[in-house]
Amino acid sequence: MTGGARRPGSRRWIGSAALVVLLAAAGCGGPTTGASAGGHPSAPSRSAALPAIAPAAPIAWSPCPDGSGLECGTVPVPVDYRHPLGPSFNLAVTRAPSLDPSDPGGTLVFNPGGPGESGNQILPVVLSLFPPSVRQDFDIVSFDPRGTGASDVLDCGTSPSAAASVVPVPAAGGRPLPGTPVFTAMARACERVAGSFTPFVDTTDTARDLDRIRQALALSTISYYGLSYGTVLGAVYADFFPHRVATMVLDGAVDVNATLPQQADEQAPAAEQSIDHLLTGCASAAVCPLGADPEAYFRSLAASLSRRPLAAPGHGDPYPVTVGDLDTATLFAVSVPGFTPSYESALVAAHAGNGAPLRALSLEFDTDIDGAPLVDPLWAITCNDAASHPGPVAAGDQARTLAARYPLLGGYAVTYAMGGCVSWPAARQPVVDLHPTGTPPILVIGNTGDPNTPLVGARHLAGDLPGARLATWAGWGHTWLLSGSGDTCMQRVVTTYLTGGGLPAPGTVCH
């Protein structure tokens, strides 16, 4: 266990491709000092001001080329806000107009999490999950954060299969985290191919980018909905620009003031609870592909993959299928419970010697909707946000400790939460000691059965945001919007808040 004050890190969300499966089945350095869209200076930073920068020009919207019926545009932003006249690039932005343009309720800016996800690719498929009244009345705007999607994507060449297949737990104490060679090669590659950009792929500058989007939308304040890692972005934005927040929903909230090791400590029991629930449910079903004792089946497969990984799937994928694939695929399955019927069949196939279906599921965490790799931007943002990075041996020892306490899935929490940071350079502007002041009340949502961003993190984040209110969804899966969007109780909570009706009563729980 780690001790001391909680400090920030990041949390991965399920991959964008995983969201398609789900739907198909069902700053720190200060903000800019230029004028806002309304002609007033941006909110002052809690630290030294940055050089002045001209307000962002209005977005020139045009129909998106994919035929989705949405509107696309760009917002230029500097790579380094300390040198706003230096290199710049365009943020890709997408807008879904409200379904009732005759009675607009405003604009809701959405971030799907990750970190590393393309908000533009996700927006068309996530629209149906918003409460009907919100979709009816609000324009919903999303974007590809810096280093992702169509916003100058960071691609250092790290293979998603290499990342998904890293073994999560060392064979003995005092040994490095097994994924260290893969993650060390990633850090070196990013320094080599994008050394002038990689340090700026972080939440601090993405929060500044978000304010440039606000200006380009000609808004004096924004309403914001963030999922998973998107709650980190929302909290940082609220810290930098408290007077630019109208309403803010932080769903699947991350414990932003926790260290990376502390986040792993929090996530391990949540993941273990979720896999236990999944296996128990299979055992109680009329027919369970994993037999009468699914937990024993799972343990047997894990032991077999640890002793002898399966042959690489081929077709350009040279990496053997390991127990790392099993753990990664399992976390994906419990993140979208009920929407991965192929999970049990993948385990059966692996038990029979065919690891390809298991690899296909494990890659859901590390690829975007269009199949692009997410590994490099995911870890760049995670590690650039963290004030401290545990070394390979410390990470390996923590993985062994958690595996002993939570033997089904606990050891994987270290690789999941911080594995890519064991060899990453020190952050230039980490997110630290986040306690926004001056914001309007913020709505925080946590799930009782969330295996990725556990409820304890939502409780902590709500406590770190003055005037915030936690609403709890009693259900399984990652975030309310992705796992329980049809729940009318939570729909009322979210709709009432976003439309000016205020926060729910303290202690609100929706089932």
pLDDT at 14: 54
- Residue-level pLDDT at 458: 98
pLDDT reported for residue 337:
85
Rounded to an integer, the average pLDDT of 336-355 is 91
- The stretch 398-418 carries a mean pLDDT of 98
375 vs 15, more confident: 375
Residue 15 has pLDDT above 60, yes or no: no
| pLDDT, tens digit, 9 for 90 and up, residues 188-225 | 999 999 999 999 999 999 999 999 999 999 999 999 99
- The structure tokens listed for 303 are 């032991």
Task: Pick the closest to residue 398 from 163, 166, 177 (CA basis).
Answer: 177
Where does the chain hold its CATH 3.40.50.1820 domain(s)? 27-156+196-258+435-510
Distance in angstroms (rounded) separating the CA atoms of residues 252 and 481: 9
Q: What is the pLDDT of residues 247-259, one digit of tens each?
A: 999 999 999 999 9
**Reported CATH class of domain 27-156+196-258+435-510:** alpha beta
φ/ψ of 182, rounded to 5, equals: -65, -45
What is residue 37's predicted lDDT score, i.e. its pLDDT? 37
Other residues' Cβ atoms within 10 Å of the Cβ of residue 246: 16
* Ordered alpha helix ranges (H), 26-174: 119-126, 132-137, 160-164
Q: Which amino acid is at 112?
A: P
Place of tokens 């999922």: 227
Using the predicted structure, report yes or no on whether residue 226 has a pLDDT greater than 80. yes
Instruction: Tell me the C-alpha distance between 301 and 295, whole Å.
Output: 10
Report whether pLDDT(51) > 90: yes
- Asked if pLDDT for residue 472 goes beyond 70, the answer is yes
Instruction: Tell me if residue 41 falls in helix, strand or coil.
Output: strand
Residue 6's Cβ-side half-sphere holds a number of Cα atoms within 13 Å equal to: 21
pLDDT at 188: 98
**pLDDT score, position 405:** 98
The rounded mean pLDDT for the chain is 91
Q: Give the residue among 186, 254, 212, 265 at the shortest CA–CA distance from 431.
A: 254
Where is average pLDDT lowest: 5-14, 174-183, 453-462?
5-14
105 or 263: which carries more pLDDT confidence?
Answer: 263
Helices (H) and strands (E) in the chain, counts: 18, 10
Instruction: Residue 342: count other Cβ atoms within 10 Å of its Cβ.
Output: 16
Kindly tell me if the per-residue pLDDT of 421 is higher than 50.
yes
Nearest-Å Rg of the Cα atoms of the chain is 22
